[in-house]
Amino acid sequence: MSTRPVTIAHPDKRALAAETAERALVVLAEAQEERGEATVVLTGGSMGAAVLAALAASPRRDRVDWSRVNVWWSDERFVAEDSPERNYRQAVDAVGGALALNADRVHPVGSSSDFASADDAALDYREELAAAGAAEHSAEGLPRFDLSLLGLGPDGHVASLFPGLPHVHEQEATVLGVEGSPKPPPVRVTMTLPLVNAARRVWFLVAGPDKAEAVAAVRSGAPLDRTPGAGVHGTEETLLLVTEDALGG
């Protein structure tokens, strides 16, 4: 298991998105060759959307059978279903219908249009994950995550795991409602670190000089209270895919 991420620098955001998309195509195609399907966990933010757009635009996108790709989200803003703030909505807009995904394999987190609280939406997502794990006959009770894409906030947060909030230290691989997020909107749903870390490969997507301090903290293994992203690792691979300006020189 990789406990420290390998850092790979790119000259700019466009190169980061394009090269990450090509890396992802290889991973998803290999997973399908291995067991007939592939599973990716998506993130929000501008770089997450840019990678999805690059996937949709890639001339090699057809090497993956998108009808056999399962899609989950590591976190979501608990807002109305049609809100442009939803990570799900941003992903749909980025892909633009270019990938022939099977709707039954796409698993958005429930919105405030569907549930009375973020805790209710989190419970629903836990049940959905458990059902998928049972269908795969998983000993861990979870679906197999081949790849998880994550952003990294300037404060070191990943998914909706923010510094100083108690759910950062949750030991169970689960999904929780979040109240009082320091970044709006304040109410969210998030995977815990043990669930994020269940993925075979976890890739951070980080761009911009405002992220340099957080990148340095992740690379050095800073305490979780200060930098939740420092607690992230895949079971087989952990990559920090960054722009050069995010390395702070």
Query: Each residue of 39-65: pLDDT tens digit?
Result: 999 999 999 999 999 999 999 999 999
CB proximity list for 71: less than 8 A, separation 6 or greater: 39, 40, 41, 42, 101, 105, 106, 107
Residue 180 lies in a domain: yes
Query: Each residue of 69-112: pLDDT tens digit?
Result: 999 999 999 999 999 999 999 999 999 999 999 999 999 999 99
Among residues 175, 58, 51, the alpha carbon closest in space to that of 108 is found at 175
Domain count along the chain: 1
pLDDT score of 155: 97
Mean pLDDT value of segment 182-206: 97
CB proximity list for 72: less than 8 A, separation 6 or greater: 39, 40, 41, 42, 107, 129, 143, 145
Query: Each residue of 27-38: pLDDT tens digit?
Result: 999 999 999 999
Give pTM, 2 decimals: 0.96
Q: Which residue has the tokens 């958005």?
A: 108
Residue 17 lies in a domain: yes
How far is 5 from 39, CA to CA, in rounded Å?
Answer: 21
Query: Each residue of 119-163: pLDDT tens digit?
Result: 999 999 999 999 999 999 998 899 999 999 999 999 999 999 999
- Express as a percent the part of the chain with pLDDT over 70: 98
Segment (H or E) for 28: helix 13-35
Q: How many CB atoms lie within 10 A of CB 234?
A: 22
Among residues 37, 38, 3, the alpha carbon closest in space to that of 148 is found at 38
pLDDT score of 3: 62
Pairwise pLDDT comparison (170 vs 249), residue with the higher score:
170
Residue 81 lies in a domain: yes
Any idea what DSSP says for residue 224? T
- Single-letter amino acid, residue 210: D
CATH number, position 112: 3.40.50.1360
Query: Each residue of 152-175: pLDDT tens digit?
Result: 999 999 999 999 999 999 999 999
Residue 244 lies in a domain: no
pLDDT score of 4: 78
Q: pLDDT confidence of 1, banded at 50, 70, 90? A: very low
CB proximity list for 150: less than 8 A, separation 6 or greater: 43, 74, 158, 159, 196, 202, 203, 204, 205, 229, 232
The domain of 189 spans 12-59+66-204
Residue 245 lies in a domain: no
Residue 135 lies in a domain: yes
* Residue 141 main-chain phi, psi, to 5 deg: 75, 15
Do 75 and 43 touch, CB atoms closer than 8 A?
Answer: yes
Residue 237 lies in a domain: no
How far is 102 from 66, CA to CA, in rounded Å?
Answer: 7
Q: What are the angstrom distances between the C-alpha of 222 and each of 51, 121, 172, 213?
A: 27, 31, 21, 11
Residue 214 lies in a domain: no
How far is 45 from 242, CA to CA, in rounded Å?
Answer: 14
